[in-house]
Structure 1
């Protein structure tokens, strides 16, 4: 046990953080399930809003634990309390817009309050850091109050209220971005990279659950192989070059710019990146559940848009990092979006194979071509 609550040197991700992350990936899996059951315009909006709340609770803790000594017993107990609240939040994701939605709202608010308390505790004695945290906390409390009010509203107005809460979260991030934050780049990048890995793995686990109940056929095997190929290709596009380039840029950033950079690249742009994994997961679940059929139009859209979000938003993050213009990613994203008619017309395994092939070409080209 250590006695200093604040990290005094760079640290790697610890077991307590991985424990915490796994619960949140379960919440993301729950969002995937909700979206798969409600693939409509309204269902998409609601899934995005719930996913935002889940993501924002996780990313707040990423900032907190980055600066904390995660070997400190008090920090570990605080994180365990957040794990308990986050698990309840994850369990109740499907209830978010039901009459029992107050369960989700209460658990979400509790996770956020624990995170805010942790930030205040870890920043003790640092006037500049506290100066950045105060406006962030004030606007965060406004967002949490909005979520509390939303829980008492019918599903339609609740959707609007959740949207207002998300807008307040964004405003709080913008308002606090110019502050003096204490961040360790390597640890920060590692946490987000681990979340990407776990989310990709969880998408395959969810698809495998559907595949396990299907008769063993060549068509099912093809769907499974191409689903795994797609996940591996997405991994390649993120970890072969992008992760390192994003981390290096954070190392280079000056103190105040580092906070803005972490906000833009990790807290904001990784939201659609993980959202892309959700779309991919929805599509491969449908593909392995009905491998002899075509993807439904909504499922095909989830496939091409989800993968395009992952590839494209990682490219936007690279632009923000000053790593050049990722032309290959832009072309790949356009090819993916243009593949929607094919994804609808072809069989599910063929659609997965085509999308995986595009991503492999993007990853290979980005790896082999000279970087500009």
Structure 2
């Protein structure tokens, strides 16, 4: 029997894909696109870890959130467009490759942005990505007559804001206005989809979107594993194997596994299908979830590193570098899912109790050390899973 082959066409007329398309899954091209973000996320994680270790955690938070917003928003733009208009023809693939090139340039510019507040390389990467994205929306506007106004609104909004980002990166504005202007432009970026889709909503696929977010969550968890491994390698090279080192290594793995488990306890596909109008809160809320996972990777790297040699950062700072991201992840995970379902899988009281335990753990660092703090955080998350599973087994769900 002849082996089936997939024939790729040069051009397929771009039209909105069906919302209820059966068996819609992430394409190999989308998986490849996601992998380009590994470089950018690894770079921003490493920069934050260095700043935490050097005792400059507070100074590093704003640059981290700014650069991560650029990374996250670039991924968001492509993901939601692809859910509606992925034709998988040659033109679409080449324009996606152009956006991937922009992501790599952005990743290369993370160091300059974090260390020298030089956002020109990041802006260049964004420009490259936006050229590909605007071209995709213009193509949709030409070929999908039913949603032409929406597509052209997206193209116009993205292009105009990109000009503003370039002016901001070139330093034509006073330095004292850079942060306020960043906040304003970021807000306008978030407003573009709401404005564009007033003309007509795009046909994003709820199960496809839920899967895409889940896969990106796994990528970020993988980055946290890599960051923790970097700390482990440093300790091994210095022959600094101790009880606290082993405790942190094991607890870090348990913590990351627990967060993965908690994220996938509440499937989002059906909920997004039933409440499409609440997708903005769910989608935008993941900025905090994704940023928290990335920051957690930096915190775990520093926590492992401090077992091998003394750092400028105090032990309580290192403890909170793990506790705060873990708490933010749990709180936002509940917050983005609660509006989508009648009864969240994890009750709010249980989430808040777990968050409280996590945030109190670093206060005991003088008695249990950083390793004990990480172990306590991992234990709290594991107990949250156990309590949730018990409630599910007994049929008790609710707030």
Normalised to the residue count of structure 1, the TM-score between the two structures is: 0.89
Q: Corresponding residue for 1:167? A: 187
Q: Deviations over 1:186-220 (max 9, x none)?
A: 11111110000011011111221221131244432
> CA 1:125–1:92 in 2, change beyond 3 Å: closer, same or farther?
same
Render the CA deviation track for 1:223-263: whole Å, top value 9, x for unaligned: 11111111000001011x22x1x21111223xxxx2x4332
User: Partner of 1:180: helix, strand, or coil?
Assistant: coil
Moved more, 315-324 or 285-294: 285-294
Does 2:361 correspond to 1:336? no
Could you tell me how far apart the structure 2 residues matched to 1:129 and 1:344 are?
A: 61
Aligned-residue offset at 1:70: 5.3
* Aligned mate of 1:104, from 111, 122, 146: 122
How far the C-alpha of 1:123 sits from its partner, in A, is 5.0
CA distance in 1, matches of 2:47, 2:388: 34
SS in 2 for 1:347: helix
Deviation at 1:33, TM superposition (A): 1.9
Shift of 1:14: 1.6
- Among candidates 297, 317, 332, match of residue 298 of structure 1: 317
Deviation at residue 345 of structure 1 after TM alignment: 5.8
2:108/2:121 contact within 8 Å kept: no
Say whether the 8 Å CA contact 1:92–1:103 is kept in structure 2: yes
Other structure's SS at 2:386 match: helix
> Residue 362 in 1 paired to residue 384 in 2?
yes
**Partner of 1:14 in structure 2?**
27
* Distance (whole Å) between structure 1 residues aligned to residue 193 and residue 258 of structure 2: 32
Provide TM-score, normalisation by structure 2. Answer: 0.83
2:42 is aligned to 29
Unaligned runs of 5+ in 2: 1-7
* Structure 1 CA distance for aligned equivalents of residues 282 and 142 of structure 2: 27
CA contact (8 A) 2:158 2:189 kept: yes
Residue 4 of structure 1 deviates from its aligned partner by: 4.2
In 2, Cα distance between the equivalents of 1:330 and 1:247? Answer: 25
Greater shift in the superposed pair: 177-186 or 57-66: 177-186
Structure 2 match to 1:85: 102
Q: Which residue of 2 aligns with 1:238?
A: 263
The CA deviation at 1:365 is 1.8
Equivalent-residue separation in structure 2 for 1:158 and 1:205 (angstroms):
33
Are the equivalent residues in 1 in contact too, given 2:248–2:304 (CA < 8 A)? yes
In structure 1, the gaps of 5 or more residues are none
* Correspondence for 1:146: 164
Cα offset, 1:106, TM superposition: 1.1
For 2:4, the equivalent position in structure 1 comes to: none
Q: Which moved more, 1:67-76 or 1:19-28?
A: 67-76
* Corresponding residue number in structure 2 for 1:190: 211
CA contact (8 A) 2:271 2:340 kept: yes
Stretch of structure 1 that moved more, 341-350 or 71-80: 341-350
Partner of 1:288: 304
Deviation at 1:163, TM superposition (A): 2.3
Which residue pairs with 1:206 in the alignment? 227
Paired with 2:196 and 2:321, the residues of 1 have a C-alpha distance of 33
State whether structure 2 residue 97 is matched by structure 1 residue 56. no
Q: Deviations over 1:135-189 (max 9, x none)?
A: 4444333432221112122765433332222121123244345441111111111
CA contact (8 A) 2:141 2:149 kept: no
Question: 1:94: how far off?
Answer: 1.5
Runs (4+) of structure 1 exceeding 6 A deviation are: none
Distance 1:335 1:219, change over 3 A: closer
Figure out how many residues of one structure are paired with residues of the other and give that number.
Answer: 363
Alpha-carbon spacing, 1:300–1:99, altered in 2? closer, same or farther (3 Å): closer
